Amino acid sequence: MKSILKLLAMFCLGCICISTKAAPAKQKIKCNDWIITLNQDGTTDYFYKGKSILKGSFVRFKIGNTFLGSKDYNNAEIKKETVEDAFGKGQKFTISYSDSRKTKAEVEQIFYFYSDKDYFLTEVYINSENTISSNYIAPIYSTTESAFLPSDPSNRVLRVPFDNDNFTHYFSTPLTSEDTSFEVTSIFNGKNRTGLIIGSVEHDTWKTGIRYKTETNRTVSELECFGGVTHFETRDISSKPDRPSKEHGSIKGNKLKSPKILFGFFEDWRRGLETFGEVNAVIAPPRKWNSGTPFGWNSWGAMAEKVNYEGSVDVSDFIKKELQPNGFENEGITYIGLDSFWDNFSEEQHKQFVERCKTNGQRAGIYWCPFSDWYSSPESFVEGTNEKYKYKDIYLYADGKPRKIESLAVDPTHPGTKQRMDHFINWFKKLGYTYVKLDFINNGTLEADAFYNKDVTTGIQAYNEGMQYLSDLCGEDMFMALSIAPTFPSQYGSSKRISCDVWGAMTERDWGTTGYMLNSLSFGWWLDRVYPFNDADHILLHKPEEADDYKEGANRARVTSAVITGIYMLGDNFSKTGRIPGTQQARDKAIQVTANKEINEIARIQRSFYPIEGYTADLPQRAEKTFMLETEDCVYIAVFNFSKSENMNGKIDLDRVSKTNLSKANVKELWTAESKAIENNQLSYSVPPQDTRVYKISK
């Protein structure tokens, strides 16, 4: 009995010794203001300037249909080396995860740090001796609670849409929501403006999603940034019987790579989103455009399917005579664009229309959908293919059924699709068109059973191939205006519409859809870093059936929404002849609000205004009401009143606007020419119902 007790005592003592043995020191990455701690369970914690930003993050991925994570590996080591690339000199750290039993593919997570940067970049490689496939790799995946913002009701998380189809919105919501953002998100405090930016800066293979779950208006309880998202917002998932769904395509090989992710904590989340855009532009430089901001007209908003030669020529003449001499031009040029149903013109009429525009100091534009079959005609021959291909040969398919968003989608990699591009673009150029509006090109991003190019296995790969071919075909002299399109990849557009149609009325209307468009500007202004121009769409100034929403004040707001966004396009029917003549009222309203030289000059700056706050948007517009732009010489502030009945009065603290002391600056309101005084470093404003005020504060 004594011997047994002695053995038990020795066993207990051994247990005590084991339990009190010091754990191995945690491995750490230290660079700039960042510390990344590698924990024993295969997770990592991120710290910035001593502040905990994200806890318990790990790599998660699929091989075939099996999910794995870096937590499943029992060995991890860190290697450091220097790096020099397009971002400059920096440090590269690689965490290698391996399994001593050699039963799994090896995982490498790479971190890139650069001097004077508030962010790092990270990407993941899955390596195997055998060929493997995956349609999901998440460099960042955490289900551990993190809280890096103060406890404050102004905390927000940003949902960015994948494209601008179907009147989709940006959302800036309190930290009590669960959602998926596309390509990028920001989690920020509205009052002190600090915030996290996380998003993909590569768009060659993956659709990237950022799924988040936030609670208690402060806590991030789940955060997942992954390549491989499909969703009803990417148009890959649908409940409609004529629109089959498809999961994200898989990549295959011995070495699979995730999208490269930017992860940064910024003193001002607005500068963080602009930095995100600038990093994207380093990796994929924007399409070149050496001329100024386009001012012009588009036929769709008012003429629509009744666009006709006589009326369009009359519009060109009116704009030449009445608008261009009063400043509705840039560098002596105004664009006159035909939208859908331009085939109402004969070829000879197209030639004459283009020549008339040239005579009037204008450039002619046209419209096309390179990835659409709008006629649903599978047995029809594809234009430009010498009857080699029928449309059914070039469709994208999911489970054997043609893919569709609004129109049937064609394969961007198919030679029939490319020959069709040759046919139409070369014809447009031969006629003399130098501006092409490209619509519904999100069709080209759809996942599919297969693509003609067997090396292409994902929708984004296919889109890149098709758009690169189209861009090369158009050349640098043709302006490529992307209409309904994915936000990324971005390098193929001279401009991109920042929202969906804004010339019509919706149930949540305030002067048409101006409030809706300003939602996109409120949280997507930074896209002017990846496109030469944001595009607010063509604006209407006259609708007799909705006269109360098209008064002078509301039209000032419409014009302001365009010039503070980017491209400046009108859409009213200014014709007096042709199949669908317009009215003198439409002409008068355009003359009334397009001749303000100081307002027009804002559009020529080629920069989008950004929100002063970013956390005050409310329903139904979900848009901010105050926007700003700071230049070397001045600060512009635009204020919108969405109310139909009440004046909007308030004050803007100029400490929230600029680091420059503006207390003695000169202030002019550009629509009324009224001079203003700054009192106690605050700018007072009073905006009538459905109207706007634009203040220029000279430094």
CATH, residue 195:
2.70.98
Instruction: Encode pLDDT of 460-501 as tens digits.
Output: 999 999 999 999 999 999 999 999 999 999 999 999 999 998
Least confident of 4-13, 96-105, 146-155, 576-585: 4-13
CA distance 109 to 8: 46
Same domain for 170 and 227, yes or no, is: yes
Asked if pLDDT for residue 291 goes beyond 50, the answer is yes
Residue 11 belongs to some domain of the structure: no
Same domain for 247 and 349, yes or no, is: no
E strands along 548-655, which residues? 566-570, 610-611, 626-630, 634-641, 648-653
Count up the domains in the chain and report the number. 3
Q: How many alpha carbons lie under 13 Å from residue 362 in its C-beta half-sphere?
A: 30
Same domain for 275 and 153, yes or no, is: yes
Which domain CATH number covers 348? 3.20.20.70
Residue 115 belongs to some domain of the structure: yes
> Sorting pLDDT into bands at 50, 70 and 90, what band is 508?
very low
Which domain CATH number covers 648? 2.60.40.1180
Asked if pLDDT for residue 642 goes beyond 60, the answer is yes
Same domain for 183 and 233, yes or no, is: yes
* pLDDT for 151: 94
Residue 267 belongs to some domain of the structure: yes
Of residues 24 and 136, the one with the higher pLDDT is 136
Asked if pLDDT for residue 554 goes beyond 50, the answer is yes
Give the C-alpha distances (Å, rounded to integers) separating 153 from 160, 214, 266, 624: 21, 13, 19, 17
Same domain for 427 and 512, yes or no, is: yes
CA distance 652 to 683: 5
Asked if pLDDT for residue 510 goes beyond 80, the answer is no
Neighbouring residues of 278: CB distance < 8 A, sequence distance ≥ 6? 529
- Of 580, 610, 640, which residue sits at a domain end? 610
What's the whole-model pTM score?
0.94
| Helix %, strand %, coil % of the chain (to 5) | 25, 35, 40
- Of 577, 610, 643, which residue sits at a domain end? 610
Taking residues 377-393, what's their average pLDDT? 98
Q: Which domain holds residue 168?
A: 28-283
Same domain for 84 and 162, yes or no, is: yes
Same domain for 562 and 636, yes or no, is: no
Report the chain's mean pLDDT, rounded to a whole number: 94
Same domain for 503 and 482, yes or no, is: yes
CA distance 279 to 257: 19
Residue 398 belongs to some domain of the structure: yes
Q: pLDDT exceeding 70 applies to what percent of the chain?
A: 95
Pairing mode of beta strands 261-266, 334-337: unpaired
Least confident of 13-17, 100-104, 677-681: 13-17
Residue 9 belongs to some domain of the structure: no
Instruction: Encode pLDDT of 60-89 as tens digits.
Output: 999 999 999 999 999 999 999 999 999 999
- Of 251, 283, 315, which residue sits at a domain end? 283
Residue 459 belongs to some domain of the structure: yes
Taking residues 224-238, what's their average pLDDT? 97
Same domain for 359 and 468, yes or no, is: yes
Same domain for 125 and 250, yes or no, is: yes
Same domain for 345 and 461, yes or no, is: yes
Q: How far apart are the first and last CA of the chain?
A: 94
Same domain for 167 and 191, yes or no, is: yes
Instruction: Encode pLDDT of 297-345 as tens digits.
Output: 999 999 999 999 999 999 999 999 999 999 999 999 999 999 999 999 9
Collapse the DSSP code of 619 into the 3-class scheme (helix H, G, I; strand E, B; otherwise coil) and give the result. coil
Residue 373 belongs to some domain of the structure: yes
CA distance 593 to 694: 14
Residue 290 belongs to some domain of the structure: no
